[in-house]
Amino acid sequence: MSMETPPPAPPRHGEGSSPFPRREGGQGVRFLETRNAFGEALLELAAQDKDIVALTADLPGSTRLSWFKEKFPERFFDFGVAEANMMSAAAGLALSGKKPFVSTFAIFVEKAFEQIRQTIAYNNLPVKIVATHGGITVGEDGASHQTVEDIAVMRALPNMTVIVPADYYETKSAILAIASHPGPCYVRLARAAFPVVFDEEYSFELGRARVVRAGTDVTIFACGLMLFYSLRAAELLEREGISAQVVNVSTIKPLDPNVITYAKITGRAVSVEEHSVIGGLGGALAEALCEHAIPLVRVGIQDKFGQSGKPEQLLAHYGLTPEKIAEAARRVLARST
């Protein structure tokens, strides 16, 4: 039985519902769905390139591939609840000269790990895996559907590029950019609409971390939803006279070598992610910074599974809030090298 809900028609700029407050600190916040950005970008790409094909496993609506199916039915393939077969077929299509985009829930990507490893990553094929419903903001579906380890799993694979966009605009730009990348990619998206950080002029560059707020006392590295929350944390710290540099690390692998330069500017670092502190952004930064003796505090899920609850409640429960990020910055500032 399908687990998805009927999708909306393609919205303008991905407008969607969000479980998060629309107003914070007296200022309006715009929310857009990253999975909508994927659906819209793929339509643009497919209109220009007849070799682009789309694959899903019984979830065309939730992944927004139903839009692709409607416009390009001859290039759309639904494998039912057979994710392993879908990944193997994607590899075969890539070997035949096609450019496959594969999408399902992040948790179901893990069901096909062996096929991703053996048929896609091992052969360094240009299969783009776009996983929706990543992280604990899946909400009420609970631990069985909340991936807290997927970035670590995909990051461990040789040849695999791993991307976690911060918002709608970065997602759309990233999907357009990876279409020409010669190897496999894993892009982690969400179920809920995320706060908008960038605008229509934003241009994603694979492998590049970007400073989105300058600072001199501590560097906060973030990905996904946590970039927005890290910017809010920087505002809290500013009230205390602490200058926080905020860096968007949307490409987890390959990690931009410039993260070392950014960390050296302040000499203190914090990593923030909607993922386990093991093996994700925090793990990647720890590996990069350890040889330079730069203190790092990792904010993320502390080696636990998720649970059922509203997204904002879960984020608070697991310490993924601006207040907790600011607290981590104070802790690392109190350390000596």
Average pLDDT over residues 183-209: 97
Which residue(s) pair with 27 in the sheet?
24
- Identify the structural domains of the chain with CATH numbers, from first to last: 15-195 (3.40.50.970), 210-333 (3.40.50.920)
Name the DSSP letter for residue 221: E
Average pLDDT over residues 99-118: 98
The predicted-structure confidence for 63-107, as pLDDT tens digits, reads as follows 999 999 999 999 999 999 999 999 999 999 999 999 999 999 999
**For residue 22, pLDDT beyond 50:** no
| C-alpha closest to that of 229 among 213, 209, 251 | 213
Angle (CA) 26 31 36, round 5° = 180
**For residue 8, pLDDT beyond 60:** no
Residues 6 or more apart from 201 whose CB is under 8 A from it? none
Quick one: pLDDT band at residue 9, thresholds 50, 70, 90?
low
- As a whole number of angstroms, the distance between CA 183 and CA 174 comes to 14
**Secondary structure (3-state) at 214:** coil
Identify the H or E element spanning 202: none
The predicted-structure confidence for 130-187, as pLDDT tens digits, reads as follows 999 999 999 999 999 999 999 999 999 999 999 999 999 999 999 999 999 999 999 9
**For residue 25, pLDDT beyond 50:** no
Phi-psi region of 44 (alpha: psi -120 to 50; beta: other; left: phi over 0): alpha
Q: Is the pTM of this model over 0.75?
A: yes
